[in-house]
Amino acid sequence: MQELVVISGKGGTGKTTLLAAFASLAHNKVLCDADVDAADLHLILDPKIRQRHDFQSGHTAEINPEACTRCGLCRELCRFDAIGENFQVDPISCEGCGVCYYFCPENAIAFPLNTCGEWYVSDTRFGPMAHARLGIAEENSGKLVTLIRQQGKERAQRDGLDLLLTDGPPGVGCPVIASLGGATAVLIVAEPSVSGLHDMERVAQLAAGFNIPAMVCINKFDINPEQGKAIEAYAEKKNIAVMGRIPFDPMFTKAMVMGKTLFEYNGRSEGSDAVRSIWEKVAQRLDDMERKNSQ
Amino acid sequence: MIISVASGKGGTGKTTIATNLACSYEGSVQFLDCDVEEPNAHLFIRPDIHDVETIRTPVPEVDMEKCTLCGKCSEICQFNAIAVLGETVLPFPELCHSCGGCMAVCPEKAITETGRELGIIERGSRKGMAFIHGKLRIGEAMAPPLIRKVRENIRPDVLTIIDAPPGTSCPVIASMKGADFVLLVTEPTPFGLYDLKLALGAVKLLGIPCGLVINRSDIGDDHVRAYAEAEKVPVLMEITFARKIAEAYSRGEMPVETDDHWKAMFRELYSRIAAIVQTPIEKTG
Amino acid sequence: MKIAISSRGKDLDSPIDPRFGRAPYLIIVDTDSLEFEAVDNGANMNAFKGAGIQAAAAVSKKGAKALLTGHCGPKAFQALEAAQIKVANDVSGTVRDAVAAYNEGNVSFSDNPNTDAHW
């Protein structure tokens, strides 16, 4: 089984819109929304939830005021300033390290497991989908990303599907790292701006650190062709395959507003032609990798 | 006053709003880019950087001469960052959350701390504006401790504008906590609305007053406006889509620097925020 | 000598689980007598990070000198190396098959992890 992870470094470059468009083109795949912080893919794919599970992860300290003697040891030991003068734990600051719980001489601190979101396995009009909703202000989104990808893989194995199409999170931190380990390839969706180039370089370095082959495509290329070419030049220098250019096209937003993929909305615009050609190249590349691997 | 500019969804124009707001302000202002995973504000503000500091977080180091292999350190660690393996104790620094538990629990005082590099903080200035940003080391997973270090630079006597990362999880909370006002930047599309709801949930959790900027206000639909009204979140500014602005942004230009109309718009935005912050209101959440 | 094998079940006829850190059981077998003990690795199966490290610590605690498994990631490998436990990757079949292969000298020990870090 192969997994293509679509990432961007910078947010809002059109990653999810592009992935939804790929969903209408690719065959035999499972979809995976690994941008658990701000999961948007379901807004287009309208999944019918078949399985719903709590996501439990990490612990938060809780002080029992009746047993607490206010000795102050926990406040002294806590490195996250999570225990206030009133000996109440601020759950947002609590890191879940358990140091207070371990050391409290009165055993006045409980350390329960957190339920911090839900994850789902669903059916969509384009195939099965694994996705999640992370509670607001929760940690451990990396763990949830790992879990979603595992679930996607298991579903693919069960149904005999051979591709996982994963919508990755923005940035280069914990959730992105969690979305990359073990992936077959990444497609970076860049935008032609000074920020787009800067962020693309950082996320490309991250993928290189994981030894994952990277491809790049540039969305809204005509907004700044010069920056677009700079991104392509950087990509070539770093052995990142350039998959194509997508022109700025209001169609993308219109399709999103209607809850449709680009091809469901209008398969014959300049933008959709570009996306189709990019997908063909990406699919070809994945095929080549598979062939090389089995030799 | 601390204004944190956040967005939920990425790419809605958060950095554009934050940088133009800071540059249009007439008094003393400092700018903190807390989007340490992908910091961009420097590309627009173009500060002269005058100092660079490497930021480390403490991780354990074990003195095997003193260690008796009792295993208490690995027992207390919630993150599997230290393990007893045969005749040795091995720390895994990249998994460590720097809580100090292993060091505190070690009966032999065999554990001391060394540093794992989180990234760098660069400080600079431009035209009297103080500029500070953090850059997470590529491969480093934990952004919040670096964000907290960037925030240690806040001077209470001047206006502070914080550019927050996208999303709603721990790095965003670390960038909004303690702010006097959160400015949420969104776009009127289904993605924009969905992510705005999450971001607003986070702001309410922290009990911080907030307002909305609707960027590219003429694309998409009216659901964001309706939602703002229902939630009683004031819409403080709307910016229509203009290709010219998108192109200027792509070159790293700030409209307030060349366009008096924009300058006036952003000063107006600041006065609206100041008016809200100075009016005592009931905190929600 | 004792060796460890990552397993889907609790006895010698269980299939090998190719995962090390997230295998449900670790079977510790005495290669001479075939006496064995099944270590429940269930708590680790759901661990976020460091499952392989914990599994390595468990194997080390039981006194095993070698591990036969399918895939071993870099952190687990580093941990096993520190505990002076040799690692054979890409072993398949049942636990019993693996012990027999080991006794016949038909497993090769590796100097490197053979899978990427899993988060």
B258-270 pLDDT tens trace: 999 999 999 999 9
The confidence score (pLDDT) of residue B109 equals 97
C53 inside domain: yes
Question: Residues of B with CB below 8 A from A95's CB?
Answer: 97, 99
Residue type, C82: A
Name the residue facing B98 among A79, A191, A206 (closest C-beta): A79
Q: Which of A57, A181, A211 faces C119 most closely, judged by CB atoms?
A: A181
Report yes or no on C41 lying in a domain: yes
Q: Does C48 sit within 8 Å of A182, measured CB to CB? A: no
For chain C positions 31-50, those within 8 Å of chain A (CB to CB) are: 48-49
pLDDT tens, position by position, A132-152: 999 888 877 888 999 999 999
Q: Determine the pLDDT at residue A264.
A: 95
In chain B, CATH 3.30.70.20 sits at: 56-117
Query: Taking CB atoms and an 8 Å limit, are A173 and B40 in contact across chains?
Result: no
- Could you tell me the pLDDT band of residue C73, with boundaries at 50, 70 and 90? confident
Would you say residue B282 has pLDDT above 60?
A: no
pLDDT band with cut points at 50, 70 and 90 for residue C119: very low
Q: C19, C22, C119: best mutation site toward chain A, by most A Cβ within 10 Å? A: C119
Q: Encoding tokens for residue A130?
A: 């694994």
User: Residue C47's pLDDT is what?
Assistant: 64
Give buried/exposed letters for B208-229 (b at 16+ CB in 10 A, else e): bbbbbbbbbbebbbebbbebbe
Average confidence score pLDDT of chain B: 95
pLDDT tier, C117 (very low <50, low <70, confident <90, very high otherwise): low
CB proximity list for A154: less than 8 A, separation 6 or greater: none
C103 and C59 Cβ atoms separated by less than 8 Å: no
Alpha carbons C44 and B282: distance in angstroms, whole number: 46
What average pLDDT does this structure show over B157-167?
Answer: 95
CA B197 to chain centre: 18
Question: Which residues of chain A, if any, have pLDDT below 70?
Answer: none
Say what the ipTM of the complex is: 0.93
Binned at pLDDT 50, 70 and 90, residue B131 comes out as very high
Question: What is the DSSP secondary-structure string of B142-198?
Answer: --HHHHHHHHTT--TTSEEEEEPPSSSSHHHHHHHTT-SEEEEEE-SSHHHHHHHHH
> Which chain B residues are within 8 Å of A191, Cβ to Cβ?
11, 250
CA distance B232 to B275: 16
- A2-56+119-294 CATH choice from 1.10.3720.10, 3.40.50.300, 3.40.50.2300, 3.10.580.10: 3.40.50.300
User: What pLDDT is attached to residue A140?
Assistant: 72
Q: Where residue C66 sits, what CATH number does that domain have? A: 3.30.420.130
Decide if A178 touches C, using CB distance below 8 A. yes
In a domain, C109, yes or no: no
Q: Which domain holds residue C40?
A: 2-103
The CATH label, of 3.90.1010.10, 3.10.450.630, 3.40.50.12780, 3.40.50.300, for the domain at B2-27+158-278 is 3.40.50.300
8 Å CB contact between B164 and B7:
yes
Of the candidates C28, C29, C24, C27, the residue with the CA atom closest to the CA atom of residue C8: C24
**Phi then psi dihedrals of residue B130, to 5 deg:** -85, 140
Please list, in sequence order, all residues whose beta carbon lies within 8 angstroms of the beta carbon of residue A42, skipping any fewer than 6 positions away.
A33, A129, A131
3.90.79.10, 3.50.50.60, 2.60.40.420, 3.30.70.20: which CATH number matches B56-117?
3.30.70.20
Could you write out the three-class secondary structure of A119-138?
A: EEEEEECCEEEEEEEECCCC
In angstroms, how far is CA B26 from the centroid of its own chain? Answer: 23
- Name the β-bridge partners of B147: none
- What is the mean predicted confidence (pLDDT) over C49-78? 91
* Class of the domain covering A61-111: alpha beta
